Chains A and B, each alone.
Chain A
Amino acid sequence: MTGSIVVGYTATDAGADALALGIRLARSIDAHLDLVIVLPPAGTRSASVVPPERAFEDHVRAQAEEWLRAAIAEVPADVRSLGHVRFNESFAEGIIAAGEEFDARLLVVGAANGSTLGRHRLGSVASELVHSSPIPVALAPAGSRRNADADAPIPRVTAAVGTRAGADVLLDAAVRLAAAARGTLRLVSLVPFDVPAGLDTGTISLVQNAHGDDVLAQVRAALPDGVSAEVERAAGDSVEDAVAHLRWHPGEVVLVGSSRLAQPRRLFLGSTAAKMLHELPVPMIVVPRTRAEAGEN
């Protein structure tokens, strides 16, 4: 697998987190990196208070290029990387536009500044991305830049499967990623928690056992020939609890599907996935519900 991974870069800790994850993913799937800084065009914010000024914009652009050069110098030589400055009023929109421009297979952004170390807390940019991107989005938890296993390949890909539409696309993406990274595959069922609110606990636990196993069996059956996967049923009282009890390999990544609320070919982070995010100590990749165009060809 080749192609481009777009890293939404800023010269901050969150940007470094995203870059570190981007490098690891690029190595695993043999892609190259496009580092993109998105700048606000002069005069779009506080228009009518501050006159737009091309000269200041030029200064900021030069600074951004410097940041990109410094970042690219840090990327190991075996990963090909390019830097780009793009202008857009919204950082997220700019990243998506760059992803489409480079036909990217994946967008990578860091968690918001100020989140607890090793955990996700969606910042405004990441949140906008996972709710609108047509391209899979990888979220780097805070502290990714300091991980000792940053150079290690991805040992295992976990796909969090539910019953909802999109599971086949998710499964497919997980299989391909695991194959490309030469890692193993794990399927985790979050079905018990993927039920409508308001059901009484008795019903839930009934559904939990029967339905959960059922879905995993189905999913397993749907795996292509020659692909094996470990299957695990997350146990706990809540999504958060279940995720917290799962064991993770260092360097592992989790794939989740987009919610059915999403527009076709757009992401929408569902409530289950959003709850998972709070507890995940590993990077999470959100995959669109229907097959993405970008990266498919």
Chain B
Amino acid sequence: MSSIDRATMPEAGVTTGISRKGLSVGTVGVLGALVMGISCIAPAYTYTAGIGGAVGAVGFQVPAILLLGFIPMLLVAFGYRELNKVMPDSGTSFTWATRAFGPYVGWMAGWGLIVATILVLSNLAGIAVDFLFLLIAQISGDETIAGITRNPFVNVAVCLIFVALAAWVSYRDVSTSQKLQYGLVAFQLAILVLFSVMAIVETVQGGAFEANLPEFAWFNPFEIQGGLSMIVMGLSASVFMFWGWDVTLTMNEEAKDPERTPGRAAMLTVISIIAIYLLLTVSSLMYSGIGDKGLGLTNEDIGGNVFFALSGPVMGGLAFLLSLAVLTSSASSLQSTFISPARTLLAMGHYGAMPRRFAGVSPRFFTPGYATIASAVVAGGFYAVMRFLSEDALWDTILALGMMICFYYGITALSCVWYFRRQWFDSGKDFFFKFASPLVGGVILLVLFVITAVDSLAPDYGSIAIGADANGEGGIGIVFFIGVGLLLFGAVLMLVQRIFAPAFFRGETLGVDAPPSTRRG
């Protein structure tokens, strides 16, 4: 049963022979999918960007919150897989939510995805800039070079160069060698393990910043102090850290063995990622503790980029290896992340939810050219604005990003539930994968979204408050402006688009649908 509406694809007026010969069916094996999953998550990057926030929220219980945060991601991923099976489409969340809930919800889901990926693009590039200068400083032995990244002009300029390079690579569809990619992933994991081991050894030998011995309580979510808000904040950070994992699960016909490969690859990816995160969190908690001074993990100055502060003290002369690992992991993630917003924009352009030119495909490179360049311009522009607004822009983006992921993943999961509403009771499997899992996962993520949105109104949520009075009191946290503000902005754009191109909003290009039950009788 293939229910995607192809009515929008114009039929051939001229004979057009089509050969499916050479198509990439069955090209990805378990190892390939594992490498893809890990390089999409880019653990070296996610950890350095996300862990500070998680520690800030739940203290020593970070390992617990990571395990907890994985649950909704897993449940939602099941829904993703079901939707991707029956409606493979470049628009993913956008297309699926439109099919289930109609054009308005669909549009907002697509917008959420685009905003999330744009946020992470700018953040990735920002982290890469920090580590570029750190790496140069470590190799040349001149420590002042690492400080150059604090100059906003230099920082923004280099960041824009990174974004432009990544966009160029995506636009030209420059092929990356598979061996190189495998090598980078292996290198990244090896260095992360090395960091953890060195941190533990330092702690045991008494050279730690604030030595702590691991306790069982670190893994117990009931030990979290500070109530619901803190748990929610920690969960959003954890959601961010697992984001991207689902690529392995949503592959189906591309896998060598569609029945087994995706499941095995997803399982292996998750086990490796959880293992590496737990090792990293435990070792860095042992070494640094949760103080807000110096190398303490709740120090806001280091929270948005923890490895930047810790690599030198922990690894000494080998610190440059960690910088190299983060740099390569963010750089290669930058490239793969560009695909996401570009393809969603392409699908939205195709169905008339965005101006038609977003659907344009480059005639030379066969990539979504216009959408790629648009994403790059917006991501670069966003980073520049944020960097000048606040030194701690990286951290604010991560908070807003967690919010945005909860939003569009939540909608996507509920789309799965609603789209398959006539098939819930077809079988036990259907009940679990099309109803129960995505429902629970989706509701958890949307609740997280609402609580984060409300909490982020507080002036001390995020690095600065907008509209604070002369004493720095009052106002609204910047994270609210980024998160909720960008969603509202999206809603306005949606209404503007409706005025100019109403066809999509009348359901003429992509209709609401629900496949019938497959049970007989």
Contact = CB atoms under 8 A, between A and B. Distances in A.
B521 interface: no
A92 to B, nearest CB: 14
A248 interface: no
Given A10-B363, A42-B24, A55-B89, A50 B336 contact: yes
A53 B36 contact: no
A44 B16 CA distance: 23
Contact of A49 (B23, B332, B359): B332
B27 A52 contact: yes
Nearest to A12: B363
A60 interface: yes
A286 to B, nearest CB: 23
Given A43-B28, A61-B18, A87-B21, A69 B39 contact: no
Contact of B13 (A53, A69, A82, A87): A69
Interface in A36-84: 39-57, 59-69, 72-73, 82-84
A15 B17 CA distance: 19
Contacts of A46: 173-176, 335-336
Nearest to A65: B16
Contacts of A12: 363-364
Contacts of B108: none
Contacts of A45: 173-176
B176 to A, nearest CB: 5
Judged by DSSP, the binding face of B is: loop
Contact of A55 (B17, B88, B247): B88
A52 B178 CA distance: 14
Given A68-B16, A83-B16, A39 B366 contact: yes
Contacts, number: 131
A117 B12 CA distance: 34
Interface in B1-60: 9-10, 12-24, 27-28, 32, 35-36, 39
B448 interface: no
Nearest to B39: A49
Contacts of B27: 43-44, 47, 52
A145 to B, nearest CB: 14
A87 B88 contact: no
Nearest to B173: A45
B20 A87 contact: yes
Contact of A54 (B88, B178, B359): B88
Nearest to B178: A48
A21 to B, nearest CB: 18
A73 B12 CA distance: 13
A56 B95 CA distance: 13
Contact of B254 (A52, A59, A61, A65): A52
A113 interface: yes
Nearest to B185: A48
B363 to A, nearest CB: 4
A84 B343 contact: no
B363 A55 contact: no
Contact of A87 (B23, B181, B253, B361): B23
Q: How large is the interface on B (under 10, 10 to 19, 20 to 34, 35 or more residues)?
A: 35 or more
A85 interface: yes
A49 B359 CA distance: 22
A260 interface: no
B350 interface: yes
B36 A49 contact: yes
B364 A69 contact: no
Contacts of A263: none
A86 interface: yes
A47 B335 contact: no
B39 A52 contact: no
A149 B474 CA distance: 75
Contacts of A51: 28, 36, 247, 250-251, 254
A231 to B, nearest CB: 42
A246 interface: no
14 contacts: A12-B363, A45-B173, A47-B27, A48-B36, A48-B178, A49-B181, A51-B251, A52-B24, A57-B24, A63-B361, A65-B16, A72-B14, A82-B14, A82-B15
Given A44-B175, A67-B363, A68-B16, 12 more contacts: A10-B363, A43-B254, A46-B335, A47-B178, A48-B181, A52-B251, A55-B88, A56-B90, A57-B23, A59-B90, A73-B14, A83-B16
Interface of B: 9-10, 12-24, 27-28, 32, 35-36, 39, 88-90, 173-176, 178, 181-182, 247, 250-251, 253-254, 332, 335-336, 339, 343, 346-347, 350, 359, 361, 363-364, 366
Interface of A: 10-12, 15, 39-57, 59-69, 72-73, 82-89, 113
